Structure 1
Amino acid sequence: MPTANNLVAALCLAILGAVVSELIKPQMPEGFNFGHFTLISAGLGVWVGWKIMGPRAGKGTTMAINNGITGVITLVIAGLLLFGAIEMLDRSLNRRYQDPITAIQDIVSLAADYSFTLLDTKVITALVVGAVLSGLITEFAYRRWR
């Protein structure tokens, strides 16, 4: 059911996903094809905000911060796996895998490789501040527009 807290959480995580994806771009190797990296990150933020953060609002300030942290962790893990799967599909179209099991296993290793780009100070700061603010803003929306 559409509620204000779902919408606000979706918007907060969409903005955070777009900002973090722009912070990650300079850390990738030169010539890396990003495609629709920022749009996919924002779309994933909308989905995580709507499904994970929005329904969990309304339990107080401490739980709001925990809700924001949970939403951002979910966004990061889902993003790593999604972009690992996209890279795996690109590689599979170039016939780099012998069987489907190897391709599926490579999703996790690609996600682990991509996770090292998140270790930058700017990215970590954006994720932590974004998590806290997203949780608090979602809680405010719940209290304001119930």
Structure 2
Amino acid sequence: MPTAARLIAAICYAAVAFFASESFTQLLPDGTPTDWFSEINAAFGAFAGWRIHGRQAGNPMGPAISVMLVTEVVGLFYVLVFHSLYQMIQNALDKKYGDTMEAIVGMFQLAGQYGKMLATFPEGIGILLVGGLLSAWATEAANRRWR
């Protein structure tokens, strides 16, 4: 059921994902297409915000921070799986894999590489944490204001 808290959570987490993605693009190798990179990640952020934090709104800030962390981890998981799957399909079309199992292993290796790049990028982690805290506050405030 749509609520104001779900809408605010979707908008806020989409914005956090967009800005974190924009800063993350500087880490990608030269020549990596980033045409829809930030927009796709924002869609996953909106989905995670709507489905996870928006649904569980109504907590004090302590539990809201825990929900924020879960929301961001789930959103990051979706982003990593999507982009590694997309890259795996591109590599498979370029015949870089010998068989299906090699492609699946390659997808997990790509997800690990992207995750490692993100984990060692303090600016992106800062954007995710500060933006997540602001998103949690806004979601809880919207839930209190418009029940």
TM-score (norm 2): 0.93
2:76 is aligned to 76
Once the two structures are superposed, what CA deviation does each residue of 1:56-88 show, in whole Å capped at 9, x if it has no partner?
A: 111221111111111111111221111111101
Report the secondary structure of 2:55's partner residue. Answer: helix
2:34 match? 34
Within 5 Å, give how 1:113-128 maps onto structure 2.
Answer: 113-118=113-118, 119-128=120-129
Structure 1 residue 95: deviation in Å?
1.7
Percentage identity across paired residues of the two chains: 34
Give the deviation of 1:5 after TM superposition. Answer: 0.8
Paired amino acid for 1:19: F
Is 1:48–1:71's contact at 8 Å kept on the other side of the alignment?
Answer: yes
Distance 1:96 1:139 in 2: 48
Q: How many aligned residue pairs are there?
A: 146
Give the CA deviation at 1:90.
Answer: 0.8
Matching residue of 1:47:
47
Q: Give the deviation of 1:100 after TM superposition.
A: 2.0
Show the counterpart of 1:62.
Answer: 62
8 Å Cα contact 1:69/1:135 also seen in 2:
no
- After the TM superposition, which parts of structure 1 deviate over 4 Å for at least 4 consecutive aligned residues? none
The 1-side partners of 2:24 and 2:46 are apart by 19
Segments of 5+ residues of structure 1 without an aligned counterpart are: none
Residue aligning to 1:105: 105
Deviation at 1:129, TM superposition (A): 0.8
**What do residues 26-80 of structure 1 show as CA deviations (whole Å, max 9, x unaligned)?**
1111221123101101111111111111101112211111111111111112211
Q: What amino acid maps onto 2:144 in structure 1?
A: R
The one-letter code matched in structure 2 to 1:144 is R
Query: TM-score, normalized by length of structure 1?
Result: 0.94
Measured in 2, the distance between the counterparts of 1:83 and 1:144 equals: 37
User: Which whole-Å CA distance do the structure 2 matches of 1:96 and 1:28 have between them?
Assistant: 20
Question: What is the aligned-residue RMSD (CA, Å)?
Answer: 1.2
Deviation at 1:141, TM superposition (A): 0.9
Question: Following the alignment from structure 1 to structure 2, what is the Cα–Cα distance between the partners of residues 144 and 101?
Answer: 51
